[in-house]
C-alpha cells in the first residue's frame, strides 16, 4: 500500500534522507537489470513476464521498471496493477478504505511469471493480500516480489526477490516514499515517529 507518505509534522526531529531523487532512479535501473537477468527476459518472449504493481506507489514503480526494461532490452513487459484492499485481514480495524485501481493485462496471468511490485515491504500483510488477489485472477507460473525499500519487521513468512535498499528501522519509525507521478518529486526519507496516516501496519 501507499504508506506513510506525504505531510509534514512540525516540531519533531527532521526526516533523514535515505535515497535522493538520483538514488531512486539508479535503484530502479538496478532492479530492472536484476529482473532481466533473473527472469531470463528476452524480447521474443516479453509477454511471458508481467509486472503487477500494488497501488498506489507500487503501481507507479511497476510502470517505471517496465520502461527501464524496455530501455535496456528494446521490449517492455506487460504492466498492470492489483488492489489488495478487498483481501486485507485488517479491514475491520478501521473505517472502510477507498479502493484503488485494478488493471490486469488482457493477456491474463495464467502461466506467466508475475513480478509483484511495491514501494515498502514491512509486515508482509499487504503482499499476502496481493497474493490472494492474484490467485483469483489466474494461475501464474511463478510470482516474484520487488520492493524499493525493505524495512524489516515481517509478520508473515514473506521475502522479496529484488530489494532496492534494506533499511533497519524501529516499529515507531516511518518510511516516506515520494514519487514524481504522485508527489511531484522522487525520494525516500525516514521519520522518527508515526506518519500522519497512522499506517504502521501497512505494507
Partner 1 sequence: MKHLLSVTDLDAAAANGLLDTADRLRQALLGREVRKLPTLRGRTVITMFYEDSTRTRVSFEIAGKWMSADTVNVSAKGSSVSKGESLRDTSLTLSAMGADCVIVRHPASGAAHRLAAWADRDATMTGTHTSIVNAGDGTHEHPTQALLDAATLRDRLGSIAGRRIGIVGDVLHSRVARSNVFLLATLGAEVVLIAPPTLLPVGVEQWPCRVSPELDAELPGLDAVMMLRVQAERMHGAFFPSAREYAVRYGLSDQRAALLPEHAVVLHPGPMVRGMEIAPSVADSPRAAILAQVRNGVHVRMAVLYHLLAGAPE
Least spacing, CB of residue 201 vs partner 1, in Å: 13
Cα angle 114, 120, 125; round to 5: 70
Least spacing, CB of residue 108 vs partner 1, in Å: 8
DSSP track, 124-136: SHHHHHHHHHHHH
| 83 or 186: CB nearest partner 1 | 83
- Angle in degrees, 0-180, between the axes of helices 21-38 and 57-73, rounded to the nearest 10: 60
Least spacing, CB of residue 112 vs partner 1, in Å: 14
| 14 or 95: CB nearest partner 1 | 95
| 104 or 177: CB nearest partner 1 | 104
- The binding site for partner 1 (CB under 8 A) comprises 83, 86-87, 91-104, 106, 108, 132-133, 136-137
Whether the Cβ atoms of residue 131 and residue 157 lie closer than 8 Å to each other: no
Instruction: Find residue 186's DSSP bridge partners.
Output: none
Least spacing, CB of residue 126 vs partner 1, in Å: 15
* Coil vs helix vs strand at 155: coil
Least spacing, CB of residue 2 vs partner 1, in Å: 15
| 23 or 132: CB nearest partner 1 | 132
Alpha helices in the chain (DSSP H): 21-38, 57-73, 125-137, 180-183
| 44 or 96: CB nearest partner 1 | 96
Residue located via cell numbers 515517529:
193
Amino acid at each position: 500500500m501507499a504508506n506513510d507518505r506525504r505531510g509534514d509534522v512540525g516540531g519533531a526531529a527532521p526526516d533523514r534522507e535515505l535515497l535522493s531523487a538520483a538514488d531512486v532512479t539508479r535503484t530502479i535501473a538496478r532492479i530492472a537489470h536484476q529482473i532481466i537477468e533473473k527472469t531470463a527476459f528476452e524480447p521474443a518472449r516479453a509477454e511471458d513476464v508481467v509486472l503487477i504493481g500494488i497501488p498506489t506507489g507500487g503501481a507507479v514503480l511497476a510502470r517505471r521498471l517496465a520502461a527501464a526494461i524496455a530501455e535496456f532490452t528494446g521490449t517492455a513487459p506487460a504492466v498492470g496493477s492489483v488492489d489488495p484492499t478487498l483481501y486485507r485481514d485488517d479491514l475491520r480495524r478501521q473505517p472502510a478504505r477507498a479502493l484503488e485501481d485494478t488493471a490486469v493485462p488482457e493477456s491474463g496471468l495464467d502461466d506467466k511469471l508475475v513480478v509483484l511490485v511495491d514501494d515498502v515491504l514491512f509486515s508482509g500483510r499487504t503482499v499476502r493480500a496481493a497474493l490472494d488477489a492474484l490467485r483469483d485472477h489466474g494461475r501464474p507460473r511463478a510470482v516474484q516480489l520487488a520492493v524499493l525499500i525493505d524495512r524489516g519487521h515481517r509478520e508473515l513468512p514473506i521475502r522479496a526477490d529484488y530489494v532496492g535498499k534494506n533499511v533497519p528501522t524501529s516499529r515507531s519509525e516511518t518510511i516516506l516514499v515520494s514519487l514524481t507521478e504522485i508527489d511531484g518529486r522522487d525520494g525516500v526519507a525516514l521519520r522518527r515517529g508515526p506518519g500522519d496516516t497512522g499506517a504502521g501496519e501497512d505494507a
